[in-house]
Amino acid sequence: MSIETELPEVETIRYALDREISGRKLKTVEAASMATLGRYRNRKQFTSRLEGRKLGPVRRTGLLLVSELDDGQLLVIKLGPGAQMRRNAARDAVEPGTEITGTFTVGGHVRLVDPEGGSQVCVIGGDELVAEFPEVAAGGMDPAGEMIPWTSFGSQVLARQMHLKDLLCDPSIVVGVGDVYSDEILFHAGLRHDRMSDSLSHQEVRRLHGALIQVINDAIKYRGTDIEERPFRDVYGEPGVYGDHLAVYARAGALSDRNRTPIQRIKYKGGWTYYCETQV
């Protein structure tokens, strides 16, 4: 089973989809099964709300992909683990696990490929986003969104008694960080995963804030991370290349760039956490 999709991958998809499908009109929409349509009684109930509609700009709200249709409704896509979006020519072979296919009046297909069926896709009223997806209102700092001063971030960090990895992976505190990027952020901040958040000095809080912003935005610049535990291809089928820049994640035994000692890994809450002995 794939691990969760994180913010850099969702933002990479959003950026490409916005360029590729914004302003295009859907001629037909097909759903291969009900796997991603849990809010509907049947496939037609979903597809009929999209056919003949023009898509607006694609924005990201938390980890949701949202496009306003020309009738004021919202198309919302919440990608599950291992799910991918594709922009295809009509003649392109259909990948296994393709759940949703939208055919444009001009310009091929957009497809949701989700072998594990963990995504959610729906069309909702223009003012129903928070009601339908309450996590939007409860979302924390968005590292790729509006800049949050380190002092504001620090007040949340120091007010809690949590392991730093848990804090970074809590969506009510930070949006879109999971196993991969939390380990990278903590390495660049020089902090251990099991360090208690309320024990940080102000200098350490600043380092954590800076590493959070740097790692997430660098990962977006390199179009996400494609690794064995979570294969990732962008909208055009190209792999993200931030994996070439990973400092610790999935690199147990490799020499740390910081002190040339082997990178360590330890079991943490059912998964592996990777770190360097220089982290304190």
- Give mean pLDDT, residues 154-180: 96
- Give mean pLDDT, residues 233-260: 96
CA-to-CA dists, residue 177 to 3, 36, 172, 194, 264, angstroms = 12, 23, 11, 16, 21
Tell me: the pLDDT tens digits for 49-85?
999 999 999 999 999 999 999 999 999 999 999 999 9
CA-to-CA dists, residue 197 to 37, 155, 185, 251, angstroms = 39, 11, 14, 25
Report pLDDT for 266.
Answer: 97
Indicate the pTM of the whole model: 0.96
Query: Has residue 1 got a pLDDT over 70?
Result: no
Average pLDDT of the residues of the chain: 96
Judge whether 134 and 84 are in contact, CB under 8 Å. no
Please, which residues have CB within 8 angstroms of residue 41's CB and are 6 or more apart in sequence?
none
How does residue 239 score in pLDDT terms, banded at 50, 70 and 90? Answer: very high
Report pLDDT for 146.
Answer: 85
Judge whether 158 and 197 are in contact, CB under 8 Å. yes
Query: Has residue 170 got a pLDDT over 80?
Result: yes
DSSP state of 159: T
Parallel/antiparallel/unpaired status of strands 271-275 and 264-268: antiparallel
Class of domain 7-136: alpha beta
Report pLDDT for 3.
Answer: 80
Tell me: the pLDDT tens digits for 92-139?
999 999 999 999 999 899 999 999 999 999 999 999 999 999 999 988
150-275 fold: Helicase, Ruva Protein; domain 3 (1.10.8)
- Give mean pLDDT, residues 166-192: 97
* Ordered alpha helix ranges (H), 149-230: 150-158, 164-168, 179-189, 202-221
DSSP state of 117: -
Q: Which of 156, 221, 219 is nearest to 183 (CA)?
A: 219
Proportion of the chain above pLDDT 90, given as a percent: 94
Domain boundaries, the chain: 7-136, 150-275
User: Residue 148: CA atoms inside 13 Å, Cβ hemisphere, count?
Assistant: 20
Question: Is there a shared CATH topology between the 7-136 domain and the 150-275 domain?
Answer: no
Q: Which of 246, 276, 275 is nearest to 259 (CA)?
A: 276
Instruction: Tell me the C-alpha distance between 184 and 224, whole Å.
Output: 13
Please, which residues have CB within 8 angstroms of residue 91's CB and are 6 or more apart in sequence?
none
Instruction: Tell me the C-alpha distance between 225 and 194, whole Å.
Output: 24
